[in-house]
Each structure stands twice: as C-alpha cells, then as structure tokens.
Amino acid sequence: MSGSERYAKLFEPVRIGPVVAKNRFYQTPHCNGTGDWSPRALAGMRAMKAEGGWAVVCTENLMVDAWSDISPFAAVRLWSDEDVPAQALMVEQVHRHGALAGCELAHFGIAASNRVSREPPLGPSSRLTMEAVDPVQSRAMDKADIRSFRRRHREAAMRAKRAGFDVVYIYCLHENSILSQFFSPLVNDRRDEYGGSLENRSRLFREILQDTKDAVGDRCAVAVRFGVKQLEPNRMLEDAELREIIARHAEMPDLWDVCVNNWSYDSASSRFAAEGHEEPHMDFVKTLTSKPVVGVGRFTSPDTMLAQVKRGVLDFIGAARPSIADPFLPRKIEEGRVADIRECIGCNVCIAGENTFTTMRCTQNPTIMEEWRRGWHPESVPLTRSPDPVLIVGAGPAGLECALTLGRRGYAVTLAEAAHTLGGRVVRESSLPGLGEWIRVRDYRAYQLQQLSNVQLYLASALDAAQVREYGFSRVICATGATWRRDAVGRTHVRPVATEGAASVFTPDDVIDNRVDAGPVVLYDDDGGYLAAALAEKLAGDGLSVTVVTPHTTFARWTAVTLEQERLMGHMLERGIEVRVASALASVGSGHIECRCVYSGASTRLEAASLVLVTSRVPNDGLYHALIDAPADLEASGIRSVLRAGDCDAPGLIATAVFSGHRLARQLDAPDAADVDYRRELPDAD
C-alpha cells in the first residue's frame, strides 16, 4: 500500500456547516508575535500553510473591541471597518491555494488591562486583571455593558464575513476569555440572570453563539474553541460543568475546537508532554455531538493522526506548532514523503516570540515569518548561477542547515566535522533529561543531506588553517560552535571569578560527558535559559546532591516565555534539588563557595565539592581568524571568502544557529547585503 493510500482517510473532505474542508488537516488559531502592524507578513505566513495542504488556516485571536486591549502583546483587531482590509489580504491569499480561512473572535475580559485604549477592563465581576502587573481591576459589567458587548461582537463577526472568512470562531478557551470568566463561579459572583446556576453562567456564551450564527451563519461556519479540561493552577471550572456546557450546546456550533486549560498544558513543551497528550481529556467530546471536532496534540506522525480519526477521537487533525515547523506537512503525507516531514521538537521557541513581543521563530523552520519579508519558501531555494565549491567546517545546527541549503541551491559542498557524529550541540543537549526530541534537528537534516549527491560529509575530520588552504575551495564557512566558559563571566559577572586551588569547576559540557562525580554540587546559572534545569536533573539522576544558585530573581527565567518555568521549578522540587534565587557567586574556595544576596549583600557559604558554571560561551572562532588574518595566503590558495555561522559567529539558541546557517546559504552569492535585508511594513505618514 502506498503512503497516499494508507493515509487516504486523512484526505477526505469534511463539511463544516455551510462550507467544506478539502481534507482533515486543520491549522488551529495560533499567535505569531507580530499583531496587526505587519499584515503582509501575517498573510504570507498563513498562505504558506494553505499552499502546504492545510484545509483550514486560521488567524490568531482577533480582538473584537477596545475593551480587549492586551498591549504590549501583539494583537490583531477587528474593532472597526478600518481593520477589514488587512484581514481580507490574508483571506485572499489563503483562498488562492484552495483552503478555508478561519478567524478567532476574542475578548479577554479581565485578562486585558487596556493599557493603550485606556478603557476600563470588563468582566462578570470586579477582579484584579490577569496576566498583567498593573494594579487594576475590572468593572463588573451591567446589563448595558452586556448589550454593548453583544453588539460589538456581532459587528466584528459581520466584519469577518465581509473580509471573506469561511469559519468564524467563538472563543472560550483558557482563563483569558470573557466567556470562560462568565462560566466560572470563582470569577462570576453575579446574582442576576448571568450568575449563580450553570445555566445562568452559560447565558452570555449562548447569546453570543446565537448572535454570531444569526449574523454570519448563512455563509460562514460558526466554531467554538473550548477548554474541555482545566488544570491547576488556573482551574476555574470543574470537569462535570465543562462537560455539561458542551452537552447543553452540543449541536449549536458547526464545529467544536477543543483543548485543555491552561496554556502551558495545552501547548506543553516536549519536556512535559508527548505527541497526542490531550486525548485523555478530549476523547469524550465526540460522544456528545454530531458536529465535527478538531483537537491538537503536537501531532507529527501520520500514523498517530490516522489513529485519532479512525478511533473516533477527532474529525480534524488540529495543529499549531507542527504547522509552523513544517507548513507542508499535509502535502508530504499525501505525496508519500513522510520521511521528509520537518517534525516539531516541542521547544516552544515559537511561543517565546509572542511572550517577548517579537516575531515568531522556529528551531526547525528558519523560514517562518520570512515568507513576505525576505521572500523565503520552506521547500525551495533559488539555484546558484556560480556553483563555487564550498567547505563548511563544523556539522552542528548551523553547519548542517547551511550545507543542506547550499546543496539544494546546487553548490558542491564539503562538510567536515571534527567529531565522530553529526549534530554538534544538538546531539549533546538532546541527551539530557526532557530534551530528547530535540535530536530531530539533526536527524531531519542528516537524512536530507543523504539525498544530495553534491554534498560530501566527512566525520572525525578536524582541520587547521593550513589544511583548509590546501584543499582549493573557493569559499569557506566556519560553523565551529562555541565553548562554555569556566570563569563565571556572564550577565552578572563582567570579570572572571577566581577559582585557583578551589573545588572542582565544571561546565555544561563536563556534565554531559559525565565528568562530574562528586557531590554536593552547586550549579550556578547566570544563563537563565533552558539548560540549567536539564543539567541539574541529570546530576540528581546520577545520585548527586544538587543546589541551583542563580543571581536572577526567578529560576530559569527565560523558560517563562516558553511556558515551562513553573513546571520546571516543580520538577526541581520533586527531585530534591534546592533552588536559591537572587544570589550571586562571590568567591570559590576549597570545598565551598561564597554567595552574596543581590539585594542586601549578605554572604552565604555553601558546601560544594563540584561547581558547575552555566554562564556564557566563547565562540570557537580560532580557525576563522587564522584564515582571515593571513589575506595573502588566502589569495594564494584561491579562497574568495571566509564566513562564520551559528555559535561561532554569535552564541545563541539552536534556533538562532539554524537561522544563521540558512540565511548565509541563501545570501552566499548575493550582492553585499544592505543594512536591513528584509522588507518592512512602515506606517502611513500624512
């Protein structure tokens, strides 16, 4: 049986009310960190999903009015008719590829502080606003407020219809939906017909749903996005009432889009959840409704997808992160090219864009959000007109991506790696607890490189400058990575901390190489990223007593933007790992360290047979400088250019290294790059 025959059920058309989806692949609403200041970039990204075979492609939240202003988070608005053309641009491009366009109308209620609009936050009752530091409370909505909200929501739905959308959502997912807030007896303490009993607390949802069906249901499918399971720490409603809400309204919407609450569980990283992890929470929905159901689970395996449909769990395979990692996932399955899927690794770097007010990124897909800005396509690159032989030194994430992209462009590429395996830091970091799926970064590129006859791979091949000059390559790219520092220099310490004659001092590389065998261990984290927790968990798993010390006011602070921090902290406590925050390394002695409180300056001595420093890295750029510092030798050897990529250029995330390698390969034979090498959407100036 061919791949296309095996998965034929995934490509059956499915009716959603008045519209028909051409297959069962459904890009559920997801944020992207840009908001409506960049409509062309948004349209380009969504259109690429449609080209890749997704039958339904949805927007992120579209805020229905000025009482749901979540600035500075990126937001897309349907406040007025002026917002329609930007949405119509996306719809037009999605329709061009035969996909349905969906929009998620939303109001965040007491989760919106309305910093820019300066409207009072609205909610069922007066509560401090969620997800904000502002000491601001909502206004308890009176009947006039409710009528106005219903009117504005209906008008937004009609604008969505005019923009051409095929599916219009009612949003009551997570605690940041005003409708979810009305459901909850913990937030809704009203004593009128919108409070008290579940029937009353569901009244506004039912009215909004009926308003939307009346306004746009003749042409648009009306969908409900609903949280079927609420998990701590944000549980506002019990399972029985959630199930009853669905049962009471089972046939009203044209589609149920179901997830779990809260966001860190719904979009759990691969550290905490495997593919299909939401099934136990949502498998009951199909037993309550005859309408199609879409759900997510970071699906990347077509066999898992097929099983969900065959077992009657879902009608549509929903995806946000997998559609970012590989916009062409459906088409590859349809064409029998399953091995070519660029699988999501669950690192949540995409979500970090939204939570840091920046453009979405992806570790696996360096072209995401660059479709319009740079004209990049995830599956094709321009062929070179001057196929110079290229030597890439280093087969980590940057070197692998650079070699793959250059190979696809038609260059003759030689990739030399000093180690005995491809992958560099990806191989090493993926060996740590919770990071196993990250090996997909290496595996996808290694497999693709094997298909290219113009790329030669050499392992166990350390090269010096003299050897590089001997080989006669026209271009040389150094992707030789970076090395963790042993002197504690990082964000907090701008000068080295003396460690002479002290306890054994180690780096993350030593932990990965199993060189740390004496406890107690103090792991000093001034990096604040994802790595310290994985290292601490490994050391604890090796039977060592571990204390994590950080000068930051929170542990692993960057992981808050990947939705992992709270659960990582729980992981540390469960494994007996002590965490000390706001404590800077002061000195290292024999068998101990001294820390200083960043607030008071008070000193604390901790026993430490081993000190692991997770601070910063030094680029391994010795080969690069040895080559460029001898220009006469370069000219004599015929080398036209020597460039750096990835951590050798500037240490960063794996996603940063992949992007660096990809961009360098795209631009290798281009004219000198301008100071800004992408298009910008500039505001109109009157």
Residue 501 exposed, middle or buried by CB count within 10 Å (0-12, 13-18, 19+):
exposed
CATH of domain 3-107+147-174+197-355: 3.20.20.70
Residues in CB range of 4: below 8 A, 6 or more apart: 11, 334, 335, 336
Residue 134, pLDDT score: 81
Q: How many helices (H) and strands (E) does the chain have?
A: 24, 28
- Name the nearest CA neighbour of 16 among 223, 289, 170, 207: 223
Question: Residue 252: how many CB atoms within 10 A of its CB?
Answer: 17
In terms of average pLDDT, the best of 28-42, 160-174, 220-234, 256-270 is 160-174
Residue 262, pLDDT score: 81
Alpha helix (H) residue ranges in 287-387:
302-310, 321-325, 329-334, 349-355
Per residue in 20-66, pLDDT (tens digit) is: 999 999 999 999 988 888 999 999 999 999 999 999 999 999 999 99
Per residue in 428-487, pLDDT (tens digit) is: 999 999 999 999 999 999 999 999 999 999 999 999 999 999 998 999 999 999 999 999
| Residue range(s) occupied by CATH 3.40.50.720 in the chain | 390-481+620-667
151-176-237-572 Cα dihedral, nearest 10 degrees:
180
Strand 167-172 relative to strand 139-140, pairing: unpaired
Cα 530–Cα 532–Cα 537 angle in degrees, nearest 5:
105
3-class DSSP assignment, residue 529:
coil
Length of the chain: 686
Residue 54, pLDDT score: 98
Per residue in 581-592, pLDDT (tens digit) is: 999 999 998 889
Residue 265, pLDDT score: 86
Rounded to whole angstroms, the Cα distance separating 658 from 662 reads: 6
Tokens of 240: 């029985």
Tokens of 15: 């009716």
In terms of average pLDDT, the best of 92-101, 131-140, 561-570 is 92-101
Residue 36, pLDDT score: 85
Q: Does the pLDDT at position 2 exceed 60? A: no
Per residue in 56-102, pLDDT (tens digit) is: 999 999 999 999 998 888 889 999 999 999 999 999 999 999 999 99
As annotated, the active-site residues are 31, 171, 174, 266
Per residue in 471-514, pLDDT (tens digit) is: 989 999 999 999 999 999 999 999 998 876 566 999 999 999 99
CATH superfamily of 390-481+620-667: NAD(P)-binding Rossmann-like Domain (3.40.50.720)
Q: Does the pLDDT at position 11 exceed 80? A: yes
Rounded to whole angstroms, the Cα distance separating 484 from 54 reads: 42
> What does 134-189 look like in DSSP terms, one character per residue?
S--BPEEP-HHHHHHHHHHHHHHHHHHHHHT-SEEEEEE-STT-HHHHHH-TTT--
Per residue in 627-679, pLDDT (tens digit) is: 999 999 999 999 999 999 999 999 999 999 999 999 999 999 887 766 788 88
Residue 73, pLDDT score: 86
Per residue in 305-327, pLDDT (tens digit) is: 999 999 999 999 999 999 999 99
Tokens of 47: 């259109």
Instruction: Reply yes or no: is the peptide bond before residue 261 cis, omega within 30 of 0.
Output: no
> What does 250-304 look like in DSSP terms, one character per residue?
TTSSSEEEEEEESHHHHT--TTT--TTTTHHHHTTGGGT-SS-EEE-S----HHH
Residue 503, pLDDT score: 67
Stretch 391-404: mean pLDDT? 98
Per residue in 281-297, pLDDT (tens digit) is: 999 999 999 999 999 99
Per residue in 314-372, pLDDT (tens digit) is: 999 999 999 999 999 999 999 999 999 999 999 999 999 888 888 999 999 999 999 99
Stretch 188-206: mean pLDDT? 96
DSSP 8-state class, residue 22: S
Residue 407, pLDDT score: 97
Residues in CB range of 471: below 8 A, 6 or more apart: 391, 414
Give percent of the chain above pLDDT 90: 86
**CATH 3.50.50.60 describes domain 485-618:** yes
Stretch 242-254: mean pLDDT? 96
pLDDT confidence bin for 201, thresholds 50/70/90 = very high
Q: Does the pLDDT at position 685 exceed 70? A: no
| Residue range(s) occupied by CATH 3.20.20.70 in the chain | 3-107+147-174+197-355
Averaged pLDDT score across all residues of the chain: 94
| Residue range(s) occupied by CATH 3.50.50.60 in the chain | 485-618
17 with 255: CB under 8 angstroms? yes
Q: Does the pLDDT at position 199 exceed 60? A: yes
Rounded to whole angstroms, the Cα distance separating 660 from 42 reads: 22
Residue 288, pLDDT score: 97
